[in-house]
């Protein structure tokens, strides 16, 4: 039996863009901060090249406008270019009109820079959930074909814990009108609890062996493809420290940054990886989506 392939994804933003800093670092100060996203993303590209892995880069428009050649280099390396919006404003803090302008602008910008169609979108801070599913309709109207913006866990910043753990159509109207495909970040059901195992801060918190075990469990026991994500700033223990952060915020952001590169190296060679569109959309052949790239997209 063929083992499912997992989706390796990167949210391309800088250290000062993160939601944890929203109340401590005003947006007007972004232009005064030392930018490190280009060099850190180059490190990511090097790691992936050495492991011969292709993935999906959800690129923030703010970054793309300032580093257009970085977008071109990512695309030239064979990776999928996808959108992370323009300015890291959460989807649930925008009106439908504002959200449409944001996602349309970022898609057109990334398509122009990369020379390839942009089909995927990931909301800032996984900010699509049960209360703003209209955002998926807006994405579809703007030309996107899939989203990875719903995290099916309970979290203080985001989450829809009752949502499907696997790709599904939250806005399906009937058998022919499916709406936009949503591809959640991976979680594991264990002893009655839903455990996040798809990367980010959890990958830095957990021992590496647990993350590998959880993703292998998805592949081998549940016969499902996993979705993993992280940020380039997580490879940068030397990033400038933001002053005056509460202890909890400081701990969550800076935890184990120095261990991240080695962990990623081991992760990349331990499991099979590919781009989101290849894993779940059959290279964007929409008929393949109904088969789910390793498991049915519907539960």
Give 207's pLDDT tier (boundaries 50, 70, 90): very high
Look up the CATH number of domain 6-289: 3.20.20.370
Angstrom distance (rounded) from CA 186 to CA 208: 16
Burial class of 247 by CB neighbour count within 10 A (0 to 12, 13 to 18, 19+): exposed
The overall longest dimension of the chain from CA atoms, in Å, is 53
Angstrom distance (rounded) from CA 134 to CA 229: 24
CB 149, CB 122: distance < 8 Å: yes
Please tell me whether the overall predicted TM-score, pTM, comes out greater than 0.85 for this model.
Answer: yes
pLDDT reading at 285 higher than 90: no
| Sequence-distant (≥ 6) Cβ neighbours of residue 93 within 8 angstroms | 127
CB 57, CB 7: distance < 8 Å: no
Q: How confident is the model over 35-39, as a mean pLDDT?
A: 98
Give 2's pLDDT tier (boundaries 50, 70, 90): confident
52-91 tens-digit pLDDT: 999 999 999 999 999 999 999 999 999 999 999 999 999 9
Tell me what pLDDT residue 192 has: 83
pLDDT reading at 287 higher than 70: no
CB 91, CB 128: distance < 8 Å: yes
Tell me what pLDDT residue 121 has: 98
Give 154's pLDDT tier (boundaries 50, 70, 90): confident
pLDDT reading at 299 higher than 50: no
Report how far Cα 155 is from the mean position of its chain's Cα atoms. Answer: 16
Angstrom distance (rounded) from CA 146 to CA 14: 24
87-140 tens-digit pLDDT: 999 999 999 999 999 999 999 999 999 999 999 999 999 999 999 999 999 999
Angstrom distance (rounded) from CA 80 to CA 98: 26
Give 175's pLDDT tier (boundaries 50, 70, 90): confident
Give 268's pLDDT tier (boundaries 50, 70, 90): very high
Tell me what pLDDT residue 1 has: 62
Tell me what pLDDT residue 295 has: 36
Break the chain into its structural domains and give their ranges: 6-289
Angstrom distance (rounded) from CA 262 to CA 258: 9
Around 126, how many Cα atoms within 13 Å sit in the side-chain half-sphere? 23
Angstrom distance (rounded) from CA 66 to CA 224: 37
């Amino acid at each position: 039996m063929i083992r499912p392939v997992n989706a390796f994804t990167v949210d391309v933003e800088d250290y000062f863009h993160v939601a944890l800093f929203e109340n401590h670092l005003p947006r007007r100060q972004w232009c005064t901060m030392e930018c490190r996203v280009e060099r850190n993303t180059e490190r990511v590209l090097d790691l992936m090249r050495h492991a011969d892995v292709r993935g999906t880069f959800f690129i923030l428009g703010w970054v793309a406008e300032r580093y257009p050649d970085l977008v071109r280099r990512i695309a030239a390396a064979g990776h999928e270019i996808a959108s992370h919006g323009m300015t890291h404003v959460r989807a649930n803090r925008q009106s439908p009109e504002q959200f449409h302008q944001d996602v349309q602008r970022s898609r057109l910008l990334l398509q122009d820079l990369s020379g390839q169609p942009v089909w995927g979108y990931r909301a800032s801070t996984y900010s699509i959930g049960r209360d703003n599913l209209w955002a998926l309709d807006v994405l579809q109207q703007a030309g996107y074909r899939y989203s990875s913006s719903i995290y099916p866990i309970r979290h203080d910043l985001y989450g829809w814990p009752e949502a499907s753990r696997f790709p599904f159509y939250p806005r399906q109207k009937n058998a022919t009108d499916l709406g936009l495909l949503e591809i959640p970040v991976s979680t594991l059901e264990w002893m009655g609890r839903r455990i996040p195992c798809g990367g980010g801060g959890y990958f830095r918190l957990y021992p590496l062996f647990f993350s590998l075990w959880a993703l292998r469990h998805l592949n081998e026991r549940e016969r499902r493809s996993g979705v993993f994500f992280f940020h380039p700033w997580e490879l940068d223990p030397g990033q400038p420290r933001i002053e005056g952060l509460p202890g909890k915020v400081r701990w969550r952001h800076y935890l184990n940054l120095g261990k991240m590169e080695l962990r990623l190296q081991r992760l990349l060679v331990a499991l099979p990886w590919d781009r989101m569109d290849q894993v779940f959309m059959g290279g964007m052949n929409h008929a393949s989506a109904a088969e789910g790239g390793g498991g049915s997209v519907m539960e």
